[in-house]
Structure 1
Amino acid sequence: MTSLRVLICLLGLFVLCHSDCFFRELESKDLKNPPKGCVDEDGKQHDFGSEWVRNCMECSCTKEGMSCCSKLPDAGTVDLPEECELVVDKDSCSAKMVLKKDKTKECNPLV
């Protein structure tokens, strides 16, 4: 029974960790005045070596560029059992599998 619980936890981690990422290469327009960091979509500059979270995206800045990964799974890429659905809470940047017929109960397809 313990191994079943471990398997269910691992399945949940896979679902929650499967997310989209992107990388934006750092552009240097003026060689005499190199960039001091990365600029996000809001126009805010982030220093090299910094990390931040914006709109449920974990981002980091290096001298190569800015990389960001969603903290939320993409429902289109998650293989859910038919009786389950993925509920995403963008306020807390979290997601969970629940039963379609009773969204107050977590989905446990292996039980």
Structure 2
Amino acid sequence: MNKSQTFPFHASFRVFLCLLGLVVLCHSDSFFQKLEVKDLKNPPKGCVDKDGKQHNFGSEWERDCMACSCTSEGLSCISKMPNANTVDISEDCELVVDKDSCSAKVVMKSDKTKACNPV
């Protein structure tokens, strides 16, 4: 099989992987974006985040309540915010998230000024 015969499969597979990555990003508290090497003679010097900013290998940073790092394998980000799936909460309580301060607290549903102890 020559290169022109394999191109449609590779292009379709890449589109599939990109779409799969978007689904994971939209429905997850963490994600990993594998480093893509397009030119072996000029390999990347780091990772590029969603805003197009370059980050050197070995670097770590926080943005939008996510702790991110860049390795030679790729870009990895993990949410610093708990969610209802990660915190055991009684039915009288609810999790209140403050994305501005990247914090969360469990409060009484009936009085949001009172703290509520998770189960």
**TM-score when normalising by structure 1:** 0.77
Equivalent residue for 2:5? Answer: none
* Bigger shift: residues 60-69 or 72-81: 72-81
Measure, in 2, the Cα distance between the counterparts of 1:77 and 1:91.
20
Q: Which structure is higher in RCO with an 8 Å CA cutoff and minimum separation 6?
A: 1
Equivalent residue for 1:74? Answer: 83
**Which among 72, 82, 104 is matched to residue 113 of structure 2?**
104
Q: How much has 1:75 moved relative to structure 2?
A: 2.5
How big is the alpha-carbon RMSD for the aligned residues of Structure 1 and Structure 2? 1.6
Q: How much has 1:109 moved relative to structure 2?
A: 5.0
Identify the structure with the greater strand proportion: 1
Q: Percent identity?
A: 75
**Letter of the structure 1 residue corresponding to residue 112 of structure 2:** K
Cα gap change, 1:31 to 1:71, in 2 (>3 Å): same
Which structure: larger Rg? 2
Q: Which runs of 5+ in 2 are unaligned?
A: 1-27
Q: Which runs of 4+ in 1 moved over 4 A?
A: none
Alignment partner of 1:34 is 2:65 = no
